[in-house]
Homo-oligomer: A and B are copies of this chain.
Amino acid sequence: MRITALAGGVGGARFIRGLLHHLESARPGERVEVTVIGNTGDDITLFGLRVCPDLDTILYTLGGGVHEGQGWGRADESHHVADELAALGALPQWFSLGDKDFATHIYRSQLLAQGLPLSAVTARLGARWGLPDQGVTLLPMTDTPVETHVVVTEGGEQRAIHFQEWWVRHRASLHADRFVVAGLDAAAPAPGVLEAIRTADVVLLPPSNPVVSIGIILGVPGVRDALRGTRAPVVGVSPLIGGRPVRGHADLCLRAIGVASTSAAVAGLYADFLDGWLVDPADPMEEPPSGSAPALVRRPLLMSSVEAAADIAGAALSLAESRADRRGLGGGR
């Protein structure tokens, strides 16, 4: 079986870890290939080093190196490099990078400078974290550097800041007027991305931010068409519980693009390719008329543990199986 998932950071990483946990117990011995297409829209260059927050969160989470409490970064981290950079007056000082984490960025930057594409670098990082042994391939959505900027209004004046500055430094407290993803129009999908969507048996959308994670991946030319055209059922997990994200600022991101912070509205963003949609009981959503996509399943969506995430992933796979015939009929929409 081939499963392809589009993923942002913490929510995506925890869902994929749950998926692997589910597969291990529910389908022992079966060869399942999981391809994760990771968001690189919030990548940033700090201190001259290329940082890919979402890819790293997935690597650290699947590799057992993540700081569980934070959901990102490395466990047992120290901050000697960052402290010394602060002593040197290097900017910015609002982005926390631990020492082990720095090594990832140094390694990535060195290989990028040597001419390796990000996908090749990510494959090497994946090997360090044992992804191949888990049947997982992590692909960046694109090898083209893209950066998300947020147009904010402050004191009556509009200006654009890097997404990470908005997200991390200001904790999304500045009103976001819109998101501009520099380079996205001209970004080519990384090698294997479109194929992984087209040839998958199941495509999953983990509970990632629909605007600045999944939404950015969908903006890579060709990805949305591949999702519309794939014969695999596409099943998503709502990132909202009771209209609010479990973590992060999906509600504020939705507001910025003029979309209501409801699971129904998020499903609407995926309407042209979504076959199934998992919604938390706490999230109000009308059942769609019979026969229309997506099929709804209500179940608790709080990934409070690896086991809870595994159960959610199992439910997503079950829903996908029940919708497997949809795509075969017309050969895509």
Residues of A within 8 A of B (CB): 47-49, 77-78, 80-85, 87-90, 98-100, 102-104, 106-107, 109-110, 113-114, 124-125, 128
Closest 9 A-B residue pairs measured CB to CB? Answer: A84-B103, A48-B110, A80-B99, A84-B100, A81-B103, A85-B103, A88-B107, A99-B99, A47-B106
The answer, among B88, B98, B104, B110, for a CB contact under 8 Å with A103, is B88
- Overall SS of chain A's interface: helix
Number of copies: 2
Provide the bound-state CA to CA distance between A113 and B107, in Å.
17
Which of A49, A83, A102, A106 is the most central at the interface, judged by chain B CB atoms within 10 Å of its CB?
A106
B contact residues around A85 at 8 Å (CB):
103, 106-107
A330 to B96, CA, bound (A): 62
User: In whole angstroms, how far apart are the Cα atoms of A102 and B84 in the complex?
Assistant: 9
Chain B residues near A84: list those with CB within 8 A: 99-100, 103-104
Q: Is the CB–CB distance between A90 and B107 below 8 Å? A: yes
Beyond A47-B106, A47-B110, list 19 extra A-B contacts (CB 8 Å).
A48-B110, A48-B114, A49-B106, A77-B80, A80-B98, A80-B99, A80-B103, A82-B103, A83-B103, A84-B99, A84-B100, A84-B103, A85-B106, A87-B103, A87-B128, A88-B104, A88-B128, A90-B110, A99-B99
Residue in A47, A49, A84, A109 with the greatest tally of chain B CB atoms within 10 Å: A84
- Cα–Cα distance between A4 and B236 once the two chains are bound (Å): 70
By a CB distance below 8 angstroms, the chain B residues around A98 are: 80
Q: Which residues of B contact A80 (CB under 8 A)?
A: 77-78, 80, 98-100, 103
Q: Which residues of B contact A128 (CB under 8 A)?
A: 87-89
| Inter-subunit contact A48/B113 (CB<8 Å) | yes
Contact of A102 among B48, B102, B104, B107 (CB under 8 A): B102
Separation of A47 and B89 alpha carbons in the complex (Å):
23
* A48 close to B106 (CB less than 8 A): yes
Which partner residue on chain B sits nearest A101 by CB separation?
Answer: B84
What residues on B are CB-neighbors of A106 within 8 Å?
47-49, 81, 85, 90, 102, 106
Question: How long is the Cα–Cα vector from A99 to B102 in the complex, in angstroms?
Answer: 10
Note all chain B residues with C-beta closer than 8 A to A89: 124, 128
By beta carbon, the residue of chain B nearest A128 is: B88
Q: Which residues of B contact A47 (CB under 8 A)?
A: 106-107, 110
